[in-house]
Amino acid sequence: MRAGPATRVAFGLVSLMVSLLMLSDLFVGGFLDDRVADARRHRQLVAESVATQVVQALRSDSDDDLRTLLAGVLRRDPQLRSAAVIGGAAPRVVAGDHAHEWRLGGTEPSTIDNLRMTLLADGRRWGELQLAFAPSGPQSWREWLGQPLVAGVLLMIGLGFVAFQLYLRRAMRYLDPSAAVPERVRTAFDTLTEAVLVLDTGSRVMLANNAFSALGPNAMPIRTGTSVNDLAWLVGALPEGSGRPWQRVLETNRPLLGLEMRLTANRERIRDVVLNCTPINDGFHRARGCLLTMSDVTELHERTEGLRVALVELHASREEIRQKNEELTLLATRDALTGCLNRRAFLADSERAIAAAAAAGQPLCAIMCDVDHFKSINDRFGHGGGDEVLKAVAKALGRGLRTGDLLGRYGGEEFCIVLPNATLAQGREIAERLRAEVEAHAGSAVRHLADVQVTMSFGVEQLGHGAAQFDALVDRADQALYHSKKTGRNRVTAWTELASVPAG
**Which residues have CB under 8 Å from 328's CB, separation 6+?**
none
**In this structure, which amino acid lies at residue 76?**
R
Average pLDDT over the chain, rounded to an integer? 83
Tally of domains within the chain:
3
Q: Does position 504 have pLDDT exceeding 60, yes or no?
A: no
CATH of the domain at 286: 3.30.450.20
Do 289 and 351 lie in a common domain? no
Task: Write out pLDDT tens, residues 188-227.
Answer: 888 888 889 999 988 899 888 988 888 888 778 888 888 9
Do 31 and 137 lie in a common domain? yes
117 within domain boundaries: yes
Question: For the chain, what percent of residues have pLDDT higher than 70?
Answer: 84
Amino acid 26: pLDDT? 57
Amino acid 76: pLDDT? 87
Amino acid 178: pLDDT? 47
**In this structure, which amino acid lies at residue 421?**
N
Do 292 and 338 lie in a common domain? no
pTM listed for this prediction: 0.45
Do 34 and 136 lie in a common domain? yes
Do 129 and 187 lie in a common domain? no
Distance CA 250, CA 281 (A): 10
Do 376 and 290 lie in a common domain? no
Do 342 and 232 lie in a common domain? no
131 within domain boundaries: yes
CB 445 within 8 A of CB 395: yes
Average pLDDT over residues 44-69: 80
Do 123 and 188 lie in a common domain? no
Amino acid 168: pLDDT? 66
The β-bridge partners of 60 are: none
Do 387 and 276 lie in a common domain? no
Return the SS3 of 219. Answer: helix
Do 405 and 282 lie in a common domain? no
Owning domain of residue 245: 183-296
Do 359 and 447 lie in a common domain? yes
Distance CA 454, CA 278 (A): 87
CB 246 within 8 A of CB 203: yes
451 within domain boundaries: yes
170 within domain boundaries: no
**Which residues have CB under 8 Å from 331's CB, separation 6+?**
none
Do 134 and 222 lie in a common domain? no
178 within domain boundaries: no
Beta strands 195-200 and 287-296, pairing class: antiparallel
The β-bridge partners of 292 are: 197, 277
Task: Write out pLDDT tens, residues 433-486.
Answer: 999 999 998 888 787 777 788 999 999 999 986 667 889 999 999 999 999 999
Residue 367 pLDDT grade (very low, low, confident, very high; cuts 50, 70, 90):
very high
153 within domain boundaries: no
